[in-house]
Structure 1
């Protein structure tokens, strides 16, 4: 089986996880599954640190069987599985939504973090329609996603011309139990084996957002994470499909200081791959058998995507 893994060609395999614990199973059962997965990965591939993968893509020096493990959203459950990846010498890269992390902050925050928390609150508010006054303007949320997006743009435009403080920015939602890591936790786990990257402020589809919102989501992510954990240079597009990025988002990422960006479509990355459209093999948000996990890592999704694209072009 190991030989067939490389039949797709050499390149960087990037795996994407979101969750590790699922309903209906004990945490010990889930941890045992991850241990088997990590054992197989470490024996079958060459796990790389994020920095090593970036250098390999830039300098044409990827080792055979290179694999990078990434985890989106920085959910707090990550803290319960770090020891497993470390035990098998598998580095990971965690991509954090700074608005979600800000929602977990219980102490006083600065104005930028407070605004990120409020934007995430507003973006994901799903309650009845309500009015609230923020920074001297009245907003209406809960009517539709389109209306909320427009209200957020209005707020961002107002704050851009008249900066405000954390005391002027309410927290709209109560979050219990905890969902995401705090900035302090991200800083604590950041190391040679655990890299941190950006995943926007509020997990919005950047491809559908206004220019003002795109700029805010990207620039704010970079500034907050640079301050919290040290310089970051890699971004992961929320949702990560073809309609979630554009030449405009790429320009904004470059202007903010990002050097690489990941999507979620299956594929292998090489030195010829666009650094702002790097593929990842996404793992489903459910328990997988060992066979399914190995099949996905081997590239079943890559073959399926190639076949689908070939059939689409044939129809045209």
Structure 2
């Protein structure tokens, strides 16, 4: 009986929240911000970052037909009807393919670029970790991480065990320095018998590719730190370096003022009030987070909610998008 009452309360609470949101949306038309990362052919994709070119095109065409589209950096206070903004995080090379699609369809988009790997063949650390641990190598039965704080041994005979290991390592690697994380990856490469060289499928943008994005009339470039750390795990000085230096680097590379920022990972635990203050002091007008919600004029411009979009077909995308306005 108590369990039934609990579920009944959850239903009532959900309906009350939806009613409240409908009323708020009438008072102030919301902006729903969508967060993408990659447009490519999905391979190993533990975090659902990759959207196929076919599905991405269909999603953009649906947005163009059905919604008012706004740029992330615009002042949304004057919006007369609900709108959608499209963003990308990280700065993968395949963002150039996304650009070709949004230019053809006519959708404005903001690309938040992490600058540390520009003009480098290096993978983002989570992609290398994914490739090393969740690939198709012949793995040893155990892996021992040598680290003073996070050292641990995992069984690795089955894919399920390696998924557990991957998740543990990913959560810990978010909190450590670049140098320390590089040492972890070196240990994992030796364990897996794999090297650092890849086919470039996961590489970042080159400077030339960044300029292709920056020169498009449909594109705004935003900053996304240098090394994609969990900013809340850093000292204020370290946070300031990541935030301010990425802004300066992008301004130097593109010749354009950079006025918007996106927090790496972006959950509320991944940044803090210090981070938001640093963004404000650095001259950013807005900062994008990664928790769900809608943007209203009374909201915090340095904590703009976004919805991560996976590789949905257009029918699923349309159904899910409809629910975002009242959730």
Question: By the TM > 0.5 criterion, same fold?
Answer: yes
Q: Distance in 2 between matches of 1:302 and 1:246?
A: 27
Distance 1:249 1:175, change over 3 A: farther
> Which residue in 2 is equivalent to 1:33?
55
Name the counterpart of 1:75.
92
Cα displacement (A) at 1:300: 4.2
Q: Distance in 1 between matches of 2:265 and 2:276?
A: 16
Asked if residue 296 in structure 1 is aligned to residue 320 in structure 2, the reply is yes
Work out whether residues 21 and 30 of structure 1, in 8 Å CA contact, stay in contact via their aligned partners in 2: yes
Match of 2:101 in 1: 84
Q: What per-residue deviation string (whole Å, max 9, x for no partner) do you get for residues 92-129 of structure 1?
A: 10001111225349xxxxxxxxxxx9xx88xx8999xx
Provide closer, same or farther for how the CA distance between residues 151 and 181 of structure 1 changes in structure 2, counting only shifts above 3 A: closer
2-structure distance, mates of 1:42, 1:71: 17
**Residue 211 of structure 2: which of 176, 179, 187 is its match?**
187
1:177 partnered with 2:196 = no
Partner of 1:204: 229
Given the superposition, is the C-alpha separation of residues 299 and 226 from structure 1 closer, same or farther in structure 2, using an over 3 Å criterion?
farther
- Give the Cα–Cα distance (whole angstroms) in 1 for the partners of residues 146 and 211 of structure 2: 34
CA distances 1:242-292 after superposition (whole Å, capped 9, x unpaired): 1012111111112222111001111111211101000111113xx312232
Aligned residue for 1:87, secondary structure, equals helix
Q: After superposition, where does 1:46-85 map in structure 2 within 5 Å?
A: 46-51=68-73, 54-56=74-76, 60-85=77-102
Distance 1:282 1:223 in 2: 27
**SS of equivalent residue, structure 1 residue 223:** helix
5+ residue gaps in structure 2?
Answer: 1-20, 45-50, 133-144, 151-171, 181-195
Distance 1:90 1:205, change over 3 A: same
Structure 2 equivalent of residue 157 of structure 1: none
Measured at CA, do residues 181 and 63 of structure 1 come closer, stay the same or move farther in structure 2, by a change above 3 Å? farther
Partner SS for 1:200: coil
CA shift digits 1:177-198 (9 cap, x unpaired): 1511123321222132111101
Contact in 1 for aligned 2:32/2:325 (Cα 8 Å): no
2: CA distance between counterparts of 1:302 and 1:175? Answer: 43
Distance (whole Å) between structure 2 residues aligned to residue 236 and residue 296 of structure 1: 23
1:151 Cα offset (Å): 8.0
* Contact 2:262–2:288 under 8 Å retained in 1: yes
The answer for the alignment partner of 2:293 in structure 1 is 267
Q: How far is the alpha carbon of 1:20 from its aligned partner?
A: 2.3
Relative to structure 1, the CA distance from residue 228 to residue 31 in structure 2 (aligned partners, 3 Å threshold; closer, same or farther) is same
1:14 aligned counterpart, secondary structure: strand
Q: For residues 272 and 151 of structure 1, do their structure 2 counterparts lie closer, same or farther at Cα, with a shift above 3 Å needed?
A: closer
Please list, as runs of the form range in 1=range in 2, the aligned pairs for 1:17-28 lying within 5 A after superposition. 17-23=36-42
1:11 matches 2:30: yes
Count of residue pairs the alignment pairs up: 244
**Structure 1 unmatched ranges of 5 or more:** 1-5, 106-116, 128-140, 154-172, 304-316
> C-alpha distance in 2, partners of 1:31/1:176?
20
Q: Return the match for 1:213 from 222, 228, 238.
A: 238
Q: 1:50 aligns to what SS in structure 2?
A: coil
Please show how residues 62-211 of structure 1 align to structure 2 within 5 Å: 62-104=79-121, 143=147, 149=176, 176-177=199-200, 179-190=203-214, 191-211=216-236
RMSD: 3.4
Q: What is the DSSP-based 3-state SS (H/G/I as helix, E as strand, rest coil) of the residue aligned with 2:39?
A: coil
Distance 1:227 1:63, change over 3 A: farther
